[in-house]
Structures are given as C-alpha cells and as structure tokens.
Structure 1
C-alpha cells in the first residue's frame, strides 16, 4: 500500500486510516481468522468496564433496512480479564491497539484509565461517554457537555502522558458541536463520531419490541448521512482536532466522504458482520480514489469539502476523468 494513506490521530501515527469500530471486531481473534490485523490502521477494542458483564439477554440484535439495530449491553470480561487474556494477544499482532473504555460513573472511568496507565500495548484510549450515567438516572454522559467533560478530564488526568485520549460521542443530542467543544476543552486529543443512533423495531409476528431492551442502537449505511453531518459540523468548529469517522462505511468512497467532511481516519463496523475481510478492500478502494483525484497525501483531503472551490489545491482533481458534464443551457434544452 502506498504512503499516500498515512495519517495521524494526535501523537499517534497510523500506516493507514482504516480502523475497526468498537465492538465490531470481537476480541480480535475472531476477525484475525479472515484478515491480517496488521493490515489495519488500528484495532479498536470492545468497550471495557471494570467488572465482567454478560450483556443483555437475547434477542439483542435485529436487522433493519440498510442497518442493524442492537442492544448488546456491553458484554465483556472486565478490566482484569482484558489485561490478562485479551491485550497481551493483541499486543503481538503488529497493530496499534486503541482501548475503548466505558463506565457507570466518573470514578469508574478514572479507575480504568489508571489501570491502563502502565500497561504496554495501549496506543490510545477511546472514552465511550455514550453509555449510561447511573449517577444521573441513566442519562448518557454525552448528553450533557459538563458530564462528558468531567469524564474526559478524569481519564486524561489518569492516562499515561502522550497516549491520545479520544471521546466517542452520540448523535442523539441537540448540538453535538457543544459536546465536542467541552470534551476538547477538558483534554480530549481527538473525537470519534459517531456512536449508534437510538432506534426501535417491533416484530409484526410477536407484536412486541424486536429487542429485549426495547430500544437499541442503529448502525450501518442507514446512519451514514447523520455521521457525515456530525463530522462536518464538528470539523468546522474544531478544524485542528483529529476525528475518527464512524457510521456505515462499506466502501472506499464511503471512507473518502468522511475524510472530505473532516475525518482523519474511519472505523468500519457493521460491514464486518457480513464481510469480515472488508477492511483491506476498503483501504485499497480509498487509495485508488485518492490517486484518481490526484491527492498525494490523505491529509490534503481532510476537510476538503469545507474549502471554497477556488481554494482546492490545483493538483487535486474534483473527480476522475470522464464524460464532460453538459452545460446548463444544454440541460435546459433537453428538458421537456
């Protein structure tokens, strides 16, 4: 693969911008059966909590048009099991490991960051503030700028210096830019946009909610326009803050769309459930798309959609060569 696709997330330099989305690559062992993890830009773990969790009872997943609705309940081995069994194996796979963490309180997030502080093999920490805050009657930390900031501040103060801290935000807010600004002010080195969109499905056979948790998180191509909008808005407000774009990435052109909106990297999630070997293909397609548009470095394309037409670098071609578009007068003449 060419050096064209190299990118950075804060102090973390990545060989390419294609990551796994948290929870969609299993522990890494499952995905490694289908693709070499070292070909990823980074592997993002399932959100780790302090204690083991079995997750919600089934059914906890339901297919929807162009998407997947899930209410998994963050199943996992807890930090002890993760540090003993999962992280050592991942550290041997020649891939940067971004550890996603989740908690029910600010103190739990701080404890997780402290436990990861002296552990080798942690390239970055993704703070999943889009999970319930039991101290505030089950509301998400990411619903309120102050709550989200308190979590990020606690993680940043306990994390190893130099290790990037990324805040993962939900789109289910009135103004995601306000939340993003609060997280960056609190010490976030980057942002992951977006988590799933809250949704619900009802099974017409049982006449009951399709998930035991009633509502769940919608992912897949159905949410990509929402994710692109969030990335675009946040990049406009924070153009120097690295963003990992997540939501419905299935092709190289999907990844390019996120990059043009302002993302420095993208994470592949739902696509891996039906095409676990998708990441190398998406990377190849992205590299070809950049080359076709004469983009020499991925960094030159980050946020390009924000620039006025006259300010696009002259070496960058808006689209590959093809049939010339008809002039406005020609179109009008052809209309009935």
Structure 2
C-alpha cells in the first residue's frame, strides 16, 4: 500500500485529516499542547466567541450523567476584540486549521463578530452556532426555526468571505430541513449535532443540579441520535457534513464517516482523555491500513445497505 491519504475538503477548507476538536471542549488549543502535537490534527475549533464579554451562567453549570454530561456554561468568553488582541497572536504559529465558533443573541451581533473574524488571515473558516437564543424573538434558538436560520446565515454570508460552516441544533423536528435552509442560504458546510436539551435532578435535595435547570447533553449517550441525524443530513444536502456527538473512539469516528460525514469533531472525550483526538486519528489510520484503504474518501458515505 502507498501512503495513506487522509485529506478532506470542507467547502474550500483543506484539512490534512478529518479529525477536529469541538468548540468549548478544547479551550484555545494550548491547554492540550502538553499532551501531544496539536498540529497533527485536521483542525481545532476555539471556544465559542461572542461580540461582547460574557460571564456565562452561574455555577453549578456542569453535571455528569450516565454515559454523558450536561453543560450550561453559557458561552463564557471575553468577547471577539479580546480574542483578536490577546488570544489570536498565540495561534499564529499553528500548522493546523483554526476555526472560530461564532455566537450571538441577535443577527447584528453575529454579523459584527463574523466581520471581525473575517479580517484574521490565519483563521480560514468559522463555525456559526445557530443554537443561540434570539433575544429579539422571545428567546427561541435561531436554529430551531427555518425562517430564523435562513435570516442569520444569509446575513453572515454577506459579510464573511471564507469557509462558512453552520452548526445545527438537534432540538428540532426535522434537522434535514434546517440543513437544506443553511445550504440554500450560503453555508459551505454544516456541522452536527450540537447538544441535546436535558436536565438532572438531585433527588435528596429535590432540586435541579444545574443553576439553569436544563442544559446541553453530550457524550456517548447522544451518539446513536447524532449518527442518525448526520446520516439524514448527508442524504439531504450536497455540501460537506461534519459529524459529532459522543465520538470517543476511532470506531465511533469511522461510523460517522460511513454515515456520510466528511470530517468529525471530538468533544466530550477531551474531558475524559486529553489525547482522545490524536488517539482517534491514529485509530483511523490503523483501520485504513487493516482494510487496505488508501484514501479516507473511500470511507465517506460508504455505508452498505
């Protein structure tokens, strides 16, 4: 066998391999640099970035659940200007794709944040998180309504000139419909799934565990749902799909690729095992060698019926 080809393309964004880290689970990358060379990954997604400084939600805002975890961190970050001045200079030397996860409470906030990130030469793409509550529309998430999803993606597409990936909420009746709307509105790719809405209760205290009562469920518990949604969306759109949701091992990642994902993101696994993402990459390489597969493209969407 020749050299393995793990390269993939997400709407013009060239990745050396399909393994990325999920936003909010990998900090700004440097937190994991002691464990392995993060340049070996296909890409990293820095934590959610908003126009203005956000404190996030009150504690407690994380809870362990069977086969997963709930989080209600609330997009704590110091805002996009702080990111540009203080964080981004430390990312300039990285030899892997660095993507910024962009969030907002209004369309205007999304647009302004995307405009600022558009000017950063070293950031080739953004991931637009449309699971945020729209404060002007009564708090319903942008990604739950096709009309709202269309409005925010179109507005950002007008000002953002590089690769635009839209992160989809699974808390919808038909995720394929929202994916088609994102595609029609100018998205170069979609990533899914974001967390599922869940809650945890302390029976002895008879109180919710999270300060916000409900939070986002991630980890192995959500994987079968994530896999199904990725498979559905990959059938529904022509743009690339990035799959995530409970990917803990290389086998999990390969299942997502077989279901139609062009790339994957490792999230909750980073909290359990800091080397999870690189371990998964090595496992994909081992799988390809074992099966005599030279190009990862031969696995993508190769599910047999």
TM-score (norm: length of structure 1): 0.88
Q: Does the C-alpha gap of structure 1 residues 103 and 2 become closer, same or farther in structure 2, counting only changes over 3 Å? A: farther
- Root-mean-square deviation over aligned CA pairs: 1.3
Check if 1:178 corresponds to 2:177.
yes
Corresponding residue for 1:322? Answer: none
Q: How far apart in 2 are the matches of 1:116 and 1:5?
A: 28
Cα deviation 1:264-285 (Å, max 9, x = unaligned): 1110000101211111111011
Cα deviation 1:172-204 (Å, max 9, x = unaligned): 100001100001000000000110000000012
Q: How far apart in 2 are the matches of 1:125 and 1:2?
A: 30
Cα deviation 1:71-114 (Å, max 9, x = unaligned): 00100010111101111211212221111100001111111111
The 8 Å contact of residues 101 and 128 in structure 1, kept in 2 or not, is answered as yes
Corresponding residue for 1:82? Answer: 83
Alpha-carbon distance, 1:42 to partner: 0.4
Q: How far apart in 2 are the matches of 1:137 and 1:74?
A: 19
Q: How far apart in 1 are the matches of 2:100 and 2:158?
A: 17
Q: What is the correspondence of 1:1-336 to structure 2 with a 5 Å cutoff?
A: 2-160=3-161, 163-238=162-237, 240-305=238-303, 307-308=304-305
Alpha-carbon distance, 1:291 to partner: 2.3
Pick which of 87-96 and 64-73 moved more: 87-96
Alpha-carbon distance, 1:152 to partner: 0.9
The secondary structure found in structure 2 opposite 1:98 is strand
The 8 Å contact of residues 70 and 217 in structure 1, kept in 2 or not, is answered as yes
Alpha-carbon distance, 1:290 to partner: 2.1
The 8 Å contact of residues 248 and 269 in structure 2, kept in 1 or not, is answered as yes
Corresponding residue for 1:319? Answer: none
Pick which of 1-10 and 131-140 moved more: 1-10
TM-score (norm: length of structure 2): 0.97
Q: How far apart in 2 are the matches of 1:34 and 1:2?
A: 26
The 8 Å contact of residues 191 and 241 in structure 1, kept in 2 or not, is answered as yes
The 8 Å contact of residues 3 and 15 in structure 1, kept in 2 or not, is answered as no
Pick which of 295-304 and 40-49 moved more: 295-304
The secondary structure found in structure 1 opposite 2:82 is helix
Q: How far apart in 2 are the matches of 1:110 and 1:289?
A: 41
Alpha-carbon distance, 1:2 to partner: 4.9
Q: How far apart in 2 are the matches of 1:35 and 1:75?
A: 26
Q: How far apart in 2 are the matches of 1:277 and 1:155?
A: 34
The secondary structure found in structure 2 opposite 1:5 is coil
Pick which of 22-31 and 220-229 moved more: 22-31
Q: How far apart in 2 are the matches of 1:103 and 1:270?
A: 23
The secondary structure found in structure 2 opposite 1:100 is strand
**Is the radius of gyration larger for structure 1 or structure 2?**
1
Alpha-carbon distance, 1:35 to partner: 2.2
Q: Does the C-alpha gap of structure 1 residues 36 and 126 become closer, same or farther in structure 2, counting only changes over 3 Å? A: same
Q: Which runs of 5+ in 1 are unaligned?
A: 309-336
Q: How far apart in 1 are the matches of 2:76 and 2:222?
A: 23
Moved over 3 A (4+): none
Alpha-carbon distance, 1:293 to partner: 2.3
